[in-house]
Amino acid sequence: MKKLLLSLVLACSAFAVQAQTYCTPVYSTGCAVGDDIDDVFIGTFQDTNTGCSANHYQVSTGDTVDISRGAFTTVQFTSNYSTQYFAIWVDFNEDGDFDDANEFLWSSANNNWSASDSILVPPTAALGTYRMRIRSSFSATIQSTESCLSLSYGEVHDYTARVVDAPGCSLPYFSGISATDSSVTLDWLSNDTNFVIEYGAPGFTVGQGTVVYASTTTLTAGNLSPNTAYEFYIQTNCSGTGNGYSANVGPYYIKTLCVPASTPLFEGFENDSLGSFSNPNAPSCWFYTEDAGAFGYGYLNGGSTWALSPKNGNQLYYLYNSSDSLREILVSPAIIGLDSGVKQIEFYAGATTGATAEVLVGTMSDPNDASTFEVIDSVTITGGSNWNKYTSYIYAAAGYNMSDMHIAIASSSTNTFTAVYLDDISIDNGPQCLPPTALSTGTIGIDSAEIIFNSTGIASYLEYGLPDLFLPSTREQERW
């Protein structure tokens, strides 16, 4: 069998180990055909040639593994099968499970063991010992919830890890980054009080960027350009205690937000990179988001796509809802004045050949959180290889909450496995007197027809005549 080698760096935090009963991980086949964790190397610790354990679960908590907080610990795994994923958990609060926040340390993104990875032990981690779990799986990347759940092929090893102090100057432990349209806020964990932060355009050479200093574990860099990408590095300054400087940690990538857009706003999907089903995306300053667990996707597509070519130009937006009832959502930039008066969104759309589809038009307070989507209108998209124009109005009486700043178009569960094609979206001020909507026919008699519609006006006028024969000056008119 071919053995695989993974080089990575591990870091954890810890509390004192207490006697607990831990769940037994489940496999349908396990490591019987080679999907084992054969060798484990963690720093100076070695557990080699272990093969396949009984019931695919090796409990080796009598073996203690030393790892340093605020420093990197090298880890290597091998398996006796040609492809394998790995993951690591620790029970930080010693409550007998691996389900709590920050207890999922790492999971390999792929099964290519020629690459290495690194995980840093937080410098604020408590000294002591705790339960560590390492799990392998043949099938796919291991998720945070799968410390005990049933998988097909693989094995689990449990060890005791001991957190010790690292010599020299501890590395800062990155904990978060966020941005506005003109600033970036960076947060990290450390027991130290002096830090050097350097930033610049993605790929910049360290030593040639903008340098700022911090005496706390947070920094806000201001006067940045909107809609611009940056990378940040953090370094601990221990020169005051004679320990010099730590290595840099990073880079941490972020893009500043766009400034809110004024109306009229047009998006034709022509000026941005294409996406794919595995790389959902949106135009610059727009957003793509979805309900958690959604199987569908949305992305910029070029050229002819199934039923339709772009309405204009070379690209369109492709929104696909797959098999579930969850939503895929294209979200506009923040709109200046959305909460004042009536706004309208006009767009061209088509649906998969031979089918109709429904999209939902609404607003959002957070373009990255699908749960903030508030439905205002539902629009039925006509099937076939034709573009049709649709209009929705955003105003209080229609259900707008007068606080959201983003307009959004979402897929619907009315039809599954259905694609909607979008192009040439316009957002502008709406008319003061809104036209009727939801026009349809009711009972049709020999000499009469019932017309059904929604209207917000105090009166409505119906004009009718023979097709292609009447003009505005000659048509009959009735009023309600």
Q: Residue 7: what pLDDT?
A: 43
- Domains in the chain, start-ordered, CATH in brackets? 6-165 (2.70.50), 173-255 (2.60.40.10), 265-429 (2.60.120.200), 437-479 (no CATH)
Structure tokens at 122: 């937080």
294-313 pLDDT, tens digit per residue, is 899 999 998 655 668 899 99
Contact call for residues 196 and 211 (beta carbons, < 8 A): yes
Q: What is the pLDDT of residue 17?
A: 44
Question: Among positive and negative, which fits the CA dihedral 290, 296, 301, 304?
Answer: negative
Backbone phi, psi, residue 290, to 5°: -155, 160
Nearest-angstrom CA–CA distance, 206 and 477: 75
Judge contact between 224 and 184, C-beta under 8 A. Answer: yes
Strands (E), 401-436: 406-411, 419-429
Which residues lie closer than 8 Å to 386 by C-beta, 6 or more apart? 308, 350
Is pLDDT of 234 > 50? yes
Nearest to 69 by CA among 246, 252, 232: 246
**Mean pLDDT, rounded, for 159-175:** 86
pLDDT tier at 319, thresholds 50, 70, 90: very high
Averaged pLDDT, 241-266: 92
Strands 57-69 and 156-165: parallel
| Residues facing residue 385 across a β-bridge | none
Q: What is the pLDDT of residues 435-451, one digit of tens each?
A: 777 777 888 888 888 88
Mean pLDDT value of segment 340-365: 89
In the DSSP assignment, the letter for residue 15 is: -
Greater pLDDT, 467 or 132: 132
Instruction: Give me the pLDDT at residue 263, please.
Output: 93
> Using CA of residue 243, residue 248, residue 249, residue 252, what is the dihedral sign?
positive
Residue 477: is its pLDDT beyond 80?
no
Residue 478 pLDDT > 60: no
User: pLDDT-derived band of residue 418, with 50, 70 and 90 as boundaries?
Assistant: confident
Query: Cα angle vertex 198, ends 197, 204, to 5°?
Result: 155
| Per-residue confidence band for 114, with pLDDT thresholds at 50, 70 and 90 | very low
Q: What is the mean pLDDT of the chain?
A: 86
In the prediction, which pLDDT does 473 show?
Answer: 57
- Of 130-139, 391-400, 452-461, 466-475, the one with minimum mean pLDDT is 466-475
Q: Is the pLDDT of residue 476 over 60?
A: no
Question: Residue 330 region, left (φ>0) first, then alpha (ψ -120 to 50), else beta?
Answer: beta
pLDDT at 145: 94
Residue matched to tokens 């019987």: 32
pLDDT value of residue 431: 85
Averaged pLDDT, 135-164: 92
Predicted local distance difference test score (pLDDT) of residue 166: 77
Average pLDDT over residues 89-95: 87
Question: What are all long-range contacts of 449-458, with beta carbons under 8 Å and residues at least 24 apart?
Answer: 456/397, 457/433
Query: Token match 């019932």: residue?
Result: 450
Instruction: Find the largest Cα–Cα distance for the chain.
Output: 99
Cα 306 → chain centroid = 27
pLDDT of residue 463 exceeding 80? no
Return the exposure string of 212-249: e unless at least 16 CB atoms fall within 10 Å of the residue's CB, then b: bebeebebebeebeeebebbbbbbbbbeeeeeeebebb
- Give tens-digit pLDDT for 25-81: 999 999 999 999 998 888 888 999 999 999 999 999 999 988 888 777 777 888 898
What pLDDT does residue 306 have?
62
Q: Encoding tokens for residue 102?
A: 């920050």
Kindly indicate the confidence band of residue 126, based on its pLDDT and cuts at 50, 70 and 90.
confident
Nearest-angstrom CA–CA distance, 347 and 312: 12
User: 169 pLDDT exceeds 50?
Assistant: yes
pLDDT on residue 112: 63
